Structure 1
């Protein structure tokens, strides 16, 4: 199977799985699953296969910086969503991503460990802010027929765009673009349109929780890729990511005290 074919098949399959999980178990679970490296891991694997393992390992540093920009967009959306309309909140959140990426990658250039130190408290703040901002409970509605095809098309288009630009951008900028929330943002937009602000903020909170797993994935990729064989490097990285997300899922399933 060619890489293009893999991108076209894998991305919509993951989007379908996460969207189905969100419909069955709620927007928070959908956001948590979408926060996993479901598209950023394939992008990293594509970069290693198409460019080189060293390219993908260097791109992982940019991805940790880009994850800070993604978290800035979550913070902006959690603050703006209860106060603004759908389009305005999303545009301001995307603006926060661009500004955060420009500062972290273009101006500060913190490197792997300082970027990690910036990301961790920012992600924790995004989880807390999206929880307190969700004033209204999420409502559940039956999605229209075009809903799932639109989600699949949006996610697939974004992953093809990001991976297609990589050879022209180099490892740094390619890494910054890799953690773009390809699945999360369509989920957020559709949740807001169909189920209200509360559902959208649940997706944001789940995505911010899942970002801890994405961070673990990229740190492991940078440390392992090129030092061990690629299959082992990505297997360990994905396992570390899952280990960071599992406690959030278990905490959600634990019954609340009366």
Structure 2
């Protein structure tokens, strides 16, 4: 059963979120990859294989891994101004791994780590480069950015979705297999490693240009509230409720939080014009 979860659950969630992003656009894609579609299955398998106490510590550390995820989005966005997707991805991964190694040494209570994540997400949104259409963009940057964006509809290569699924399965199997060796802290911070986010960002940058990549990645820190709530609930409930009940509650609450947050964001422009 756990082997099937490793090989199927997270890859299917990544493929589903990718298809939804193609259907509804870059902001939705960024928000969806900010959900625990990879970290959730990793934590689930970890709890099943290593026990609730190990899983609680891993979930608490996964909150700190979200700090690295937010940093990844900002670094990739800025690097995309000067390099292609290979260079941007290389630099962003190095920064993420360095942060993960440092954050794995911290042992913060779950609620303190939750506060750190929300603060980091708020700061990350303000650290993105400007894009046309945003309040911080000037007419000059709008013209230059628009000229650098590829025109036409995105062309999705046949191996895109299988590649995302294979990369996701490889991460889940690697992290969960090494969990007993590396310990709960490292398992936790690696759980949100931006595999799905990396693939989405690289494809959007190559096909839609820098502005499309920035708009997509801005959805990640906006969506970290639901991700953080998920990790927090697993950390504080797993030893009390057990694995099935905890993950049922965590998934349900996370979806409600994410839908509510999305609704407030879509309502804000309408209220501003009233």
Structure 1 residues 155-213: Cα deviation after superposition (integer angstroms, max 9, x where no partner): 22222222222121111111111111232111111111222222222221112222211
The 1-side partners of 2:11 and 2:119 are apart by 32
The 2-side partners of 1:177 and 1:163 are apart by 10
Residue of structure 1 in register with 2:137 after alignment: none
Number of positions where the alignment pairs a residue of Structure 1 with one of Structure 2 = 256
Q: Given the two structures, how large is their TM-score scaled by the length of structure 2?
A: 0.84
User: Residues 59 and 232 of structure 2 are in contact (CA less than 8 Å); yes or no, is this contact kept in structure 1?
Assistant: yes
User: Residues 48 and 56 of structure 1 are in contact (CA less than 8 Å); yes or no, is this contact kept in structure 2?
Assistant: yes
- The equivalent position to 2:168 in structure 1, one of 129, 149, 155, is 155
Residue of structure 2 in register with 1:128 after alignment: 126
- The equivalent position to 1:178 in structure 2, one of 180, 191, 207, is 191
Q: Give the SS at the match of 1:225.
A: helix
Following superposition, the deviation at residue 37 of structure 1 comes to 0.9
Residue of structure 1 in register with 2:58 after alignment: 59
Residue of structure 1 in register with 2:19 after alignment: 20
Following superposition, the deviation at residue 51 of structure 1 comes to 0.8
The 1-side partners of 2:217 and 2:39 are apart by 17
User: Residues 159 and 182 of structure 1 are in contact (CA less than 8 Å); yes or no, is this contact kept in structure 2?
Assistant: no
Following superposition, the deviation at residue 21 of structure 1 comes to 0.7
Q: Give the SS at the match of 2:104.
A: helix
User: Residues 155 and 186 of structure 1 are in contact (CA less than 8 Å); yes or no, is this contact kept in structure 2?
Assistant: no
- Structure 1 residues 228 and 62: CA distance shift in structure 2, 3 A: same
- The equivalent position to 1:114 in structure 2, one of 106, 112, 115, is 112
- The equivalent position to 1:221 in structure 2, one of 231, 234, 249, is 234
Q: Give the SS at the match of 2:236.
A: helix
Following superposition, the deviation at residue 88 of structure 1 comes to 1.9
2:74 is equivalent to residue 75 of structure 1: yes
**Alignment RMSD:** 2.2
Q: Given the two structures, how large is their TM-score scaled by the length of structure 1?
A: 0.89
Following superposition, the deviation at residue 253 of structure 1 comes to 4.5
Residue of structure 1 in register with 2:88 after alignment: 89
- The equivalent position to 1:166 in structure 2, one of 171, 179, 200, is 179
Residue of structure 1 in register with 2:40 after alignment: 41
Residue of structure 1 in register with 2:135 after alignment: none
Q: Give the SS at the match of 1:114.
A: helix
Structure 1 residues 118-147: Cα deviation after superposition (integer angstroms, max 9, x where no partner): 221211222333373565467531212222
Structure 1 residues 220-251: Cα deviation after superposition (integer angstroms, max 9, x where no partner): 11111111232221122222322332234324
Which deviates more, 244-253 or 152-161? 244-253
- Structure 1 residues 158 and 229: CA distance shift in structure 2, 3 A: closer
Structure 1 residues 17-70: Cα deviation after superposition (integer angstroms, max 9, x where no partner): 111111110121011111111111111110111110111011112111211122
Structure 1, gaps ≥5 residues long: none
Structure 2, gaps ≥5 residues long: 133-141
Following superposition, the deviation at residue 252 of structure 1 comes to 5.4
Of structures 1 and 2, the larger Rg is shown by 2
The 2-side partners of 1:133 and 1:110 are apart by 36
The 2-side partners of 1:119 and 1:9 are apart by 29
Which deviates more, 58-67 or 236-245? 236-245
